[in-house]
Amino acid sequence: MRVLVTGSNGFIAGYVIEELKKRNYTPIGLARSHRSYTHLEGLETYYGDIRDRVLLTGMVHNIDAVIHTAAMLGTGENMSSSREFVENNILGGLNLVELCDNYNIPLTYISVGNYTMNNPYSITKTTIERFMAMSIENGRKKGKRVNMNIVRALNAFGARQKVSNIKKIIPTFITAALKDEPLYVYGGKDKCSQMDMVYVGDVASILVDQLEAMRNDTFPFRVEAGTGTAYPVWDIAEKIIKLTKSKSKIIPTPMRLGEPEQSIVKAVNPYEFKYTDFDKALKLTIDYYKNET
């Protein structure tokens, strides 16, 4: 079974590809850039953009299923880029939804846990959920088999996550702590967010689980890849300082745009799964960045 993984150069996608190989599937990559990663060597890869409908249409006869992870990322960092988010996440995602619907190709889509927040990332990712629900509803009325599902992934972390302007919490805190630099916590101790942290390998396994469930026609339309436990960001910062034996200080800073104070982002109905212990996954992730810095 040939499974197309969109955004194949991405963080979560790399783990999805590894999980597919473990289960004897043949992953096929779709990437916008030619960046090369050791763990993706030898992967059959198409280079292009999910907004390119012609490209995607040309691929449909060469794949058996799709796991869609490609997306433009960012919360408060990209609040002024709404049109880019719409073009990438909605128009690109809609291309895949329509093509998979038209050609009856199973589609598993990774969505977000903070779906209620008003920022371009959350809004555009959740919009595709609604288009998928619409396609499924219309298909059922025509007697079609449902071939789409959604994994709302909470805050995935682990080795190989990039440290960039998007400021993902775990790599940002770890790399700062290893250099004894300040750790900036949005909202400070009293108003910071609480986050359901999930090891990225678990998210990848759940995505492939849902793809397999579709083949057996025994699946819910939407599941939450999260433990159901949320940690205050301030506490996470303290834990990382302790585990890295860092001299870093925690500095309160104003909340990002599009992220309310004291927000709690966690799985309400967690997917039944043996999730990796947070401390164990955190130690593994710290060891990776120690070797990288």
- 142 with 209: CB under 8 angstroms? no
**Which range has the worst mean pLDDT, 37-41, 87-91, 104-108, 220-224?**
37-41
What does the mean pLDDT of the chain come to? 90
Of the chain, the end-to-end C-alpha distance in Å amounts to 39
> What is the percent of the chain with per-residue pLDDT over 90, rounded to a whole number?
68
Three-class secondary structure of residue 213 per DSSP: helix
User: What is the average pLDDT across 13-30?
Assistant: 95
Cα 279 to chain centroid distance, Å, stands at 20
> Looking at residues 192-221, what average pLDDT do you find?
89
Angle made by CA atoms 228, 234, 238, in degrees to the nearest 5: 105
Q: What is the pTM of this model?
A: 0.92
Q: Is the pLDDT of residue 178 over 80?
A: yes
Residue ranges and CATH numbers for the domains of the chain are 2-292 (3.40.50.720)
